[in-house]
Structure 1
Amino acid sequence: MNHREWMKEALSKIDNLPAGKKFEVKDLFEGTKWSSLTRGEKVGFGIYFSNETREGRVASIKRLPRGRDNHSRYEKC
């Protein structure tokens, strides 16, 4: 799995979201693309995405408190 390529795809989806839209990383990938990943790949990319937002490399995203399912949640600013 190439995290940079997946990040490019995620960022293109984020660009199309309206401001104020709340989402989880898995919401950015259509169909079976996300579900075809192993648990380790999902966790790995989730950590990568979280680090990118925390470090400010994705300026249009705000991290929200985790949901009841303990998934990281985000909001487009």
Structure 2
Amino acid sequence: MFDVNELLEEAIKETENLTDGEVFLVKDLFKGYVWNRIPRKDRLLLGTLFLNHINKVDGSLKAIEKTSSNQQRYKKMGK
């Protein structure tokens, strides 16, 4: 069983490894097999929580456009 709040913390922590200007999806912050094991409803919730976190925190991450499959893309901005 996955705890979405723990997954959110893991995703936020993983953004520290990104380089400035890098564009990514939330699923890119997890190893493929880990992401695939997360139930779809939890992945959707995680995406919503991550977007809310980005919008609340005045940090180096910014939501940009959505992909053709309606996934939110993000960009790490320079400090």
- Do these two structures clear the TM 0.5 threshold for a shared fold by scoring above it? yes
- How many residue pairs match? The answer is 76
Residues in 1 aligned to 2:12 and 2:53: alpha-carbon distance in whole angstroms? 11
Q: How far apart, in 2, do the equivalents of 1:37 and 1:4 lie?
A: 13
Q: Is the 8 A contact 2:20 2:76 kept in 1?
A: yes
Greater helix share, 1 or 2?
2
> Which residue pairs with 2:48 in the alignment?
47
Q: What is the DSSP-based 3-state SS (H/G/I as helix, E as strand, rest coil) of the residue aligned with 1:70?
A: coil
Q: Deviations over 1:14-41 (max 9, x none)?
A: 1011000000000000131111111101
Using structure 2 for the length normalisation, give the TM-score.
Answer: 0.86
Match of 1:27 in 2: 28
How far, CA to CA, are the matches of 2:41 and 2:4 in structure 1? 13
32-41 or 3-12, which deviates more: 3-12
CA displacement at 1:13 relative to structure 2: 1.6
Structure 2 runs not aligned, ≥5 long: none
Secondary structure, in 3 states, of the residue corresponding to 1:75?
strand
Regions of 4+ moved over 4 Å: none
Letter in 2 for 1:10: A
For each residue in 1:42-71, what CA deviation from the matched residue of structure 2 results, as whole angstroms up to 9, or x when unmatched? 1011111011111126x1200001111110
* 1:69 paired to 2:79: no
Q: Percent same amino acid among aligned pairs? A: 32
Structure 1 unaligned spans of 5+: none
Tell me by how many angstroms 1:10 deviates.
Answer: 1.1
